[in-house]
Structure 1
Amino acid sequence: MNPDFLILCATYFEVSHFLASCPGNSKKITKTGLTIISGRVRNKTYDLIITGPGVFNTAHALTAYLEKSSPALVLQTGIAGVFQQAGHNIGDVAIATREQYIHTGVQAKSIENDPLPFDLIAKKPLTRKGIYLFEQKRVDHFHGVLSFAVKKENINIIKGPFITVSSITSSFKLADQLYQAFSSPVMEAMEGAASSHTAALYNVPVIEIRSASNFAGEKDKSKWDIDHAVKQLGRVLTLISQ
């Protein structure tokens, strides 16, 4: 059976509050150790994969799944670093308008690479710089639905560009450079470009929604608030899945 949603998340803890509210009714482990949880929220069905962190784990998990199933929508989620330059805060929830894997391209003098001389996905020239656009109508729909649903709660719903990194930004100087170079991103994480790329290959729609656990560039983890971010994310995922 193909679910309404395929939820991708790097770790179990990040979706623990969602699963506490919407527990799955079955679980299986793949040959490579992936955990796939299946469940229902009211009249919507979901599969949820704990992919493991990073682009390689995410690409593997989604590829293995899409070879056998065709969800109506892929939902990439998890916690993220929020760019304080954008005026947002820890606990804010953001919907990606685009993703960019910042390591893609030809090394240039600036922090941003020049484009590759070939498409990474045929007839999608933006992939030469690791850029993946989300469908604007879908982004606006989820932004509107969530903003209305949580208007009486302490959850700020925003939208904007995301970047995907393979090393967590650990200085505010670098965070500022990334913000200036990559179209003023609102959040950085480690999986989004991989799920966007893989979903595009299979022609499956995708959206990415994350909750901010820390400011991008903050190395001191005592200043992160992962628990708060996970609670915010759990509430939002429950609303989306209804």
Structure 2
Amino acid sequence: MARRSRRVLVLTAVDAEREAVLAGLATAGKAARGFDVATVGAGPAAAAAAAMYHLLVEDASRRLDLVVSAGIGGGFAPAAPVGSLAVAESVVAADLGAQAPEGFVPIAELGFGRSEHRPPARLSRAVATALGAAYGPVLTVTTVTGTGERAAELAGRHPGAVAEGMEGFGVAEAAAYLEIPVLEIRGISNAVGPRDRAAWRIGDALAALTAAFGMLPGVLEVEAGHDDS
């Protein structure tokens, strides 16, 4: 019996990211036939709300195997340079918590919820390897980092962090409620640190995202074969 394609919902913040993903999937041929792509808006709250809508309404008739939060974001040097890719080992709510005299306290340590989600380890690592991507924590922030001090603080609190974005944790929260695995993939448009808009390379980051989604369907087919073996 032929194995069915994985059913995958890819969620981006904005239309430019969605178009980059679709351009990649268009090159993947039949391997991409189980993919849908939608936008959810910027920030974790919009992402969580729109992701849940898509999961419960737009995709209610499909049994999804995977949700992917995809887009561009900042990269932590030297792990994820501009124009490269990052894949999340963990999806972290980096600024959800409380400030205390001793420093930042994550919401999980306060006892009020989760601070991170972990994609399937074998799958996320295999995707990172196949895409040639940096692999480590990807931080979800509600305010994009704009100073060296803030970048150092985040890197110190989250050793091995490779990137930051604004939607991953929101998408992961929605997927977790329905017990659907999640991945996060980022094309790197800028270095996390002092804000220098002139140095951003959004086109390069979108091109990296297109390349990633040209390869991702084939990677998932291979991993599905491993699951069946």
Q: Aligning the two structures, in what range does the TM-score lie when normalised by the shorter sequence?
A: 0.7 to 0.9
Query: In 2, Cα distance between the equivalents of 1:74 and 1:110?
Result: 36
Q: CA deviation at 1:199?
A: 0.9
Residue of structure 2 aligned with 1:208, choices 175, 184, 189: 184
Query: In 2, Cα distance between the equivalents of 1:139 and 1:78?
Result: 16
1:104–1:22: structure 2 CA closer, same or farther, 3 Å change rule?
Answer: closer
Aligned residue type for 2:42? P
Residue of structure 2 aligned with 1:53, choices 39, 42, 65: 42
Residue of structure 1 aligned with 2:80, choices 82, 88, 104: 88
Residue of structure 2 aligned with 1:191, choices 164, 167, 173: 167
Deviation per CA, 1:50-107: give whole Å up to 9, x if none. 11111111111111112132321101110010111x4431011011001211222343
Q: Structure 2 regions of 5+ residues with no counterpart?
A: 219-229
Check the 8 A contact 1:3/1:47 in 2, yes or no: no
User: 1:32 — aligned with what?
Assistant: none
Query: In 2, Cα distance between the equivalents of 1:236 and 1:49?
Result: 17
TM-score, structure 2 as length reference: 0.82
Check the 8 A contact 1:15/1:230 in 2, yes or no: no
User: 1:35 — aligned with what?
Assistant: none
User: 1:31 — aligned with what?
Assistant: none
Query: In 2, Cα distance between the equivalents of 1:49 and 1:11?
Result: 9
1:75 aligns with 2:64: no
1:143 aligns with 2:128: yes
1:15 aligns with 2:15: no
Aligned residues: CA RMSD: 2.1
Query: In 2, Cα distance between the equivalents of 1:230 and 1:144?
Result: 19
Query: In 2, Cα distance between the equivalents of 1:91 and 1:201?
Result: 33
**Kindly, what percent of the aligned residue pairs are identical?**
25
Q: CA deviation at 1:49?
A: 1.1
Deviation per CA, 1:195-229: give whole Å up to 9, x if none. 11111111001111111100012312110000001
Q: CA deviation at 1:46?
A: 1.3
TM-score, structure 1 as length reference: 0.78
1:107–1:209: structure 2 CA closer, same or farther, 3 Å change rule?
Answer: same
Check the 8 A contact 1:12/1:50 in 2, yes or no: yes
1:112–1:133: structure 2 CA closer, same or farther, 3 Å change rule?
Answer: farther
1:178 aligns with 2:149: no
Query: In 1, Cα distance between the equivalents of 2:54 and 2:137?
Result: 26
Check the 8 A contact 1:111/1:178 in 2, yes or no: no
**Greater fraction of residues in helix:** 2
Greater alpha carbon shift after TM alignment, 44-53 vs 160-169: 44-53
User: 2:221 — aligned with what?
Assistant: none
